[in-house]
Amino acid sequence: MLNPKFCVAGIASLGTPIASAGLVNFELLPDGTQPNEGIVVSTQFESLHGMAFSLVDGEHPIIVKSGSNRYSAFASSYGVQNVPAPGQNVGDYFLADPHVVDGTAPSPLHVEFTTAVHGARGVVLDVDGDEQYTVTAHSASGGVIKSIVIQVGSPNTGDGLAAPWEIVLDGAQIASITIALSTPTELPGFAFDNFTFQACAADVDWSGYVDGDDYNSFIAAFESGSEAADLDGTGYVDLEDFIAFVNAFEAGC
């Protein structure tokens, strides 16, 4: 029987790091300091994390703090303002449109990647009522590659909850992501967190680069038959997925 540990061990040192990587959750700024609420976010995370943030109307989002009355990104039954439900793993700081506080319809959020990526994911907070969000992946030319919709009934939607979204494509095609409130609502929630990307198919742990941790993650997924090991998208895990991983791992990102 094929032993995947033996076959990949010889190339485990060939992972190729890229310049930008990691989770952006706004708990700390790139210089390691805690953000001041209301700080404008644009390119601060670009050099370290490979992501730049803007709003489609030409302005930029801001960081808001849980429990603050200064900005109203969303309301929940868990606190006065901007308080997520327990256990959502979103910390105390989120990204929001600065105009939500004055009742203006929020402009779509635009996330641009320094280098085109294989996959992108994050969370939208407090999707409830008739709110509906459309997450769209764009190519380098600006064309739409894929869109998904988040609404009540989607995984982990509801009062104060952090609804996950994820778009993964074949190859590094995603140059940017937009997240738009696609249904009008009187008091929309508009808060986002936990942005990260998958640099390439071999970046199994979504760290933004390929290394031995990806090897370990893939082997664990492969042996358990997890969907994460279905690299060729056939709907099941087999030798072809193992070969696809080895090829992707050797190529790096």
- In DSSP notation, 211-232 reads SHHHHHHHHHHHHHT-GGG-TT
Which residues have CB under 8 Å from 168's CB, separation 6+?
118, 119, 198
Query: Taking the alpha carbons of 91, 126, 116, 98 in that order, is the dihedral positive or negative?
Result: negative
What mean pLDDT do residues 201-228 have? 86
Nearest residue to 177 via CA among 118, 109, 124, 127: 109
Which residues have CB under 8 Å from 227's CB, separation 6+?
221, 237
pLDDT computed for residue 9 by the predictor = 37
On the question of pLDDT at 218 being above 50, the answer is yes
What mean pLDDT do residues 53-80 have? 90
pLDDT computed for residue 20 by the predictor = 43
On the question of pLDDT at 165 being above 60, the answer is yes
- pLDDT band, residue 103 (cuts 50/70/90): low
Bridge-partner residues for 177, per DSSP?
111, 137
pLDDT computed for residue 14 by the predictor = 41
What mean pLDDT do residues 135-156 have? 96
By three-state DSSP, how is residue 247 classified?
Answer: helix
Q: Please state the pTM of the whole predicted model.
A: 0.83
Q: Distance (Å, rounded) from C-alpha 14 to C-alpha 88?
A: 35
Please indicate whether residue 148 or residue 16 has the higher confidence score (pLDDT). 148
- As a whole number of Å, the CA-based R_g of the chain is 19
pLDDT, tens digit (0-9, with 9 covering 90-100), for 112-125: 999 899 899 999 99
The residue written with tokens 């644009």 in the block is 42
Stretch among 33-47, 136-150, 172-186 having the lowest mean pLDDT: 172-186
The 8-class DSSP code of residue 201 comes to T
pLDDT computed for residue 2 by the predictor = 35
What mean pLDDT do residues 99-109 have? 75
Nearest residue to 26 via CA among 171, 125, 169: 125
On the question of pLDDT at 15 being above 50, the answer is no
pLDDT, tens digit (0-9, with 9 covering 90-100), for 172-194: 899 999 999 987 666 567 899 99
pLDDT computed for residue 212 by the predictor = 87
Stretch among 69-78, 182-191, 199-208 having the lowest mean pLDDT: 182-191
pLDDT computed for residue 12 by the predictor = 39
Q: Which domains does the chain carry?
A: 4-16+209-251 (no CATH), 46-198 (2.60.120)
On the question of pLDDT at 11 being above 60, the answer is no
| Average pLDDT of the chain to the nearest whole number | 85
pLDDT computed for residue 4 by the predictor = 40
